[in-house]
Amino acid sequence: MEIQKLAHAAKEASHDLAASSTELKNRALKEIASDLNSRRKEVIDANRRDLEESAQNNLAAPLMKRLKFDDSKIDDVIAGIESLISLPDPVGTTLSATELDRGLELYRVSCPIGVIGVIFESRPDALVQISTLCLKSGNAVMLKGGSEAHNTNRVLAEIISGASEHAGIPSGWIQLLETRADVQEMLKLDTFIDLIIPRGSNEFVRYIMDNSNISVLGHADGICHVYVDRDADTPMAVSITVDSKCQYVAVCNAAETLLVHEDVAGQFLPAAAAELKKNNVEIRGCEKTAAIIDVIPATEEDWKTEYLDYIISVKIVTSLDDAVRHINTYGSGHTETIVTANNDAAERFISLVDAGDVFWNCSTRFSDGYRYGLGAEVGISTNKIHARGPVGLEGLLIYKWIIKGSGQIVADYAAGTRKFTHRKLDTKFTV
């Protein structure tokens, strides 16, 4: 019930926020940056309490590192806000304009989605990034961060709501949830919340997807493949395989399975195996692979597994189409790459593979909002609708159809006394 009230308040605020001017939103972002700077001691003190509690609870070292929010992290999020201020306002863009008849003009204009629910990992910087992205795009937001960071998150949310509301943004646009039970409640509130963005483990994201009627933007698995075609350059294929697997193993766009055309397996696999072993990668291979290099036997389960670790599965395929079939069966629609010098093979791979990101002669690790130049990133989506692959600000937008008329009624067009012109306009919407 409590959460329903918060969601209702967010929904109410979202309407005024959607109508807020660029100037007001940017002024609010400036005040947030300024207050984060002047109140950094409070933030760091709260974070110290979180770090102490987590140390007592024996939180793993990598998570402790992500939880830490010090002066340099505060400088980073402030720099992020400055760059967000300099971006154009994504709201109010005229996407199309059509004259339906004299004095009857149709416009499609970008607008915020409404209320976004975001569930994110233990990094407190995520709270600042997500909430300021929502503010810039005119969306209200309900946030649930990692429980280890609850003291830090509480101070950050308080600073952001205080500063933005002081600047004139409607109160209630940012809401902080604190428990798992809060999240459970949130998942039911489809009348108030328009989109859920869950960031975290496969199991967690899948749970959210299976337990809410609200649309979900994100990805559960990241089972990405490197396909080494018959016409691949061997050194390039080895380099791309090693980077895709090893450059950062714990992320969704790291490769988990290597597919190799049978005609080049004899040449490519020993070279690749040597480099992978230098990086301490365990290789699990199909029977044909085992006939060429020394591997642990792969099982059906391996093709379905996102290792997120120094492990790779290898399968020899008989053709490009065989590789595509494997990818479309076992892949998660995230990132797939082909290494080939053959344009026709590349074209066929690109058009047949069903994934958000399909690459030719580069590492799978490039699928990322920063590398794509999208500026801020909301997340990576394996959805088939709305937004796919790395999602920037535009993933937080939808559009309205607006008609400016002068008293027209449909009866006149039905009777044939008036006719539609359907003429493309290149004007922007203004009243």
Binding residues among 220-239 for a copy of itself as defined by CB under 8 A: 233, 236, 239
To a copy of itself, the closest distance from the beta carbon of 283 in angstroms equals: 19
Residue 195 and residue 218: Cα distance in Å, rounded?
Answer: 10
Which range touches a copy of itself (CB under 8 A), out of 54-62, 99-107, 146-154, 157-165? 99-107
Q: Considering only residues 210, 262, 287, 294, which one is a binding residue for a copy of itself as defined by CB under 8 A?
A: 210
Q: Considering only residues 6, 7, 13, 18, which one is a binding residue for a copy of itself as defined by CB under 8 A?
A: 18
User: Quick one: tokens of 17?
Assistant: 């926020």
Based on CB atoms, which residue is closest to a copy of itself, 50 or 105?
Answer: 105
To a copy of itself, the closest distance from the beta carbon of 286 in angstroms equals: 22
Q: Can residue 63 be called a binding residue for a copy of itself (CB under 8 A)?
A: no
User: Which x/- pattern over 330-359 shows residues binding a copy of itself (rule: CB under 8 A)?
Assistant: -------------xx-xxx-xxx-xxxxxx
Based on CB atoms, which residue is closest to a copy of itself, 195 or 223?
Answer: 195
Q: Considering only residues 104, 127, 167, 258, which one is a binding residue for a copy of itself as defined by CB under 8 A?
A: 104
CA 241 centroid distance within chain: 24
Q: Considering only residues 15, 166, 277, 428, which one is a binding residue for a copy of itself as defined by CB under 8 A?
A: 15
Residue 259 and residue 279: Cα distance in Å, rounded?
Answer: 19
To a copy of itself, the closest distance from the beta carbon of 319 in angstroms equals: 15
Binding residues among 364-423 for a copy of itself as defined by CB under 8 A: 365-367, 371-373, 383-386, 388-390, 398-411, 413-414, 420, 422
3 state DSSP class of 139: coil
Beta bridge partners of residue 216, listed in sequence order: 196
Based on CB atoms, which residue is closest to a copy of itself, 82 or 347?
Answer: 347
Beta-carbon count within 10 A of 295 CB? 20
Which residue in this structure is represented by tokens 């958000």?
A: 356
To a copy of itself, the closest distance from the beta carbon of 141 in angstroms equals: 14
Task: State the number of binding residues for a copy of itself (CB under 8 A).
Answer: 78
Which range touches a copy of itself (CB under 8 A), out of 164-172, 173-181, 209-217, 259-267? 209-217
Task: Report the first-to-last Cα separation within the chain, whole angstroms.
Answer: 41
3 state DSSP class of 270: helix
Residue 201: C-alpha distances to residues 146, 198, 241 (Å): 12, 9, 24
- Which of the 8 DSSP states describes residue 216? B
Q: Considering only residues 43, 46, 106, 226, which one is a binding residue for a copy of itself as defined by CB under 8 A?
A: 106
Based on CB atoms, which residue is closest to a copy of itself, 128 or 324?
Answer: 324
Strands 282-285 and 311-317: parallel
Binding residues among 304-333 for a copy of itself as defined by CB under 8 A: 324, 328
Tell me, what amino acid is at 376? A
Q: Considering only residues 247, 275, 310, 326, which one is a binding residue for a copy of itself as defined by CB under 8 A?
A: 247
3 state DSSP class of 154: helix
Based on CB atoms, which residue is closest to a copy of itself, 19 or 44?
Answer: 19
**Nearest-5° Cα angle at 161, 157 to 18:** 120
Based on CB atoms, which residue is closest to a copy of itself, 407 or 416?
Answer: 407
Tell me, what amino acid is at 193? I
CA 414 centroid distance within chain: 45
Residue 293 and residue 284: Cα distance in Å, rounded?
Answer: 10
Q: Considering only residues 24, 209, 308, 425, which one is a binding residue for a copy of itself as defined by CB under 8 A?
A: 209
User: Quick one: tokens of 194?
Assistant: 């328009």
Binding residues among 112-131 for a copy of itself as defined by CB under 8 A: 113-114
To a copy of itself, the closest distance from the beta carbon of 419 in angstroms equals: 11
CB contact at 8 A, 168 and 21: no
Residue 143 and residue 178: Cα distance in Å, rounded?
Answer: 9
CB contact at 8 A, 84 and 78: no
Residue 353 and residue 173: Cα distance in Å, rounded?
Answer: 40
Q: Considering only residues 217, 276, 293, 295, which one is a binding residue for a copy of itself as defined by CB under 8 A?
A: 217
Q: Can residue 361 be called a binding residue for a copy of itself (CB under 8 A)?
A: yes
Which range touches a copy of itself (CB under 8 A), out of 29-37, 71-79, 128-136, 210-218? 210-218
Residue 85 and residue 156: Cα distance in Å, rounded?
Answer: 19
Q: Can residue 280 be called a binding residue for a copy of itself (CB under 8 A)?
A: no
Residue 129 and residue 78: Cα distance in Å, rounded?
Answer: 9
Binding residues among 128-187 for a copy of itself as defined by CB under 8 A: none
To a copy of itself, the closest distance from the beta carbon of 362 in angstroms equals: 3
